[in-house]
């Protein structure tokens, strides 16, 4: 395992299916960093909205968000919502359809961002999502923006659904992620955008390992973070 010196924060943003989660998890394993899947937190909150049949802007939902406990286990593989394992439930098509509407509510984002910054203060971290390079960790040591064509991203998501035995067509997945891209990029609060100081990586024709190696090379070549 490569080691990097002192506390380091790596932030990655990008649209659904750009490879952020898989890449960040592998970099975390290789460099011994904490992995923060920020989208999982918005997904967990969406589970609260669906279960309670609450509208995204309802005061009840905000109260539940303020009171809930979201925890990660196994370096991000398992997510607990009020001690219940919701790791599978947060990945369902129903949550996919709803999550961007929940995530656009500023008061909800405020709560989630506070939580993310607390986690970030605990040590070296690699965090990924939509506003990690711009809002959550604007002073991150390294910033990356991962992107890929919408068709390639839809194919990757379809493969994930197949592995989970979820019946869905490529066209439906493509429509869902295009809709989510549009909502995430055009919302008034913390929209998905490329930070001025982020390194942009088009992953369309790259393997996961190529992107992982690229990020590790950038982090390791920086003398200030390499272990002496």
* Residue 16 is a binding residue for ligand C5P (CB under 6 A): yes
Q: Which of residues 43-72 bind ligand C5P (CB under 6 A)?
A: 43
- Residues forming a β-bridge with 12: 128, 144
C-beta atoms surrounding 113 within 10 Å: 18
Binding characters for ligand C5P, 117-156, by CB under 6 A (x = yes): ------------xxxx------------------------
Name which position in 22, 29, 39, 50 contacts ligand C5P (CB under 6 A).
39
Report the C-alpha gap between 102 and 181 in whole angstroms: 14
- 194 to each of 24, 85, 88, 177, 200, how far by Cα in Å? 17, 33, 30, 18, 8
Name which position in 31, 148, 180, 212 contacts ligand C5P (CB under 6 A).
180
Cβ of residue 227: shortest distance to ligand C5P, in angstroms? 29
Pairing relationship of beta strands 199-202 and 142-147 according to DSSP bridges? parallel
Cβ of residue 6: shortest distance to ligand C5P, in angstroms? 25
* Residue 10 is a binding residue for ligand C5P (CB under 6 A): no
Report the C-alpha gap between 25 and 77 in whole angstroms: 9
Cβ of residue 184: shortest distance to ligand C5P, in angstroms? 5
Report the C-alpha gap between 47 and 50 in whole angstroms: 5
Q: Which residues bind ligand C5P (CB under 6 A)?
A: 16, 38-39, 42-43, 99-100, 103, 129-132, 180, 184
């Amino acid at each position: 395992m490569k080691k990097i010196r002192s506390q380091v924060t790596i932030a990655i943003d990008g649209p659904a299916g750009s490879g952020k989660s898989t890449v960040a998890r592998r970099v975390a394993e290789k460099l011994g960093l904490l992995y923060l899947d920020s989208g999982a937190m918005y997904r967990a909150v969406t589970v609260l909205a669906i279960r309670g049949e609450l509208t995204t802007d309802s005061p009840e939902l905000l109260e539940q968000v303020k009171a809930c406990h979201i925890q990660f286990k196994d370096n991000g593989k398992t997510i607990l919502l009020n001690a219940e394992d919701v790791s599978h439930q947060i990945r369902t098509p129903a949550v996919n359809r709803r999550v961007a509407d929940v995530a656009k509510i500023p008061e909800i984002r405020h709560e989630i961002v506070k939580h993310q910054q607390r986690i970030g203060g605990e040590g070296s971290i690699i965090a990924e999502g939509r506003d990690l390079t711009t809002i959550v960790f604007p002073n991150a040591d390294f910033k990356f923006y991962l992107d890929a064509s919408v068709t390639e991203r839809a194919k990757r998501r379809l493969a994930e659904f197949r592995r989970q035995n979820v019946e869905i067509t490529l066209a439906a997945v493509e429509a869902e992620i295009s809709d989510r891209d549009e909502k995430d990029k055009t919302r008034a609060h913390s929209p998905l955008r490329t930070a001025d100081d982020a390194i942009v990586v088009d992953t369309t024709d790259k393997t996961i390992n190529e992107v992982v190696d690229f990020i590790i090379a950038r982090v390791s070549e920086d003398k200030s973070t390499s272990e002496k």
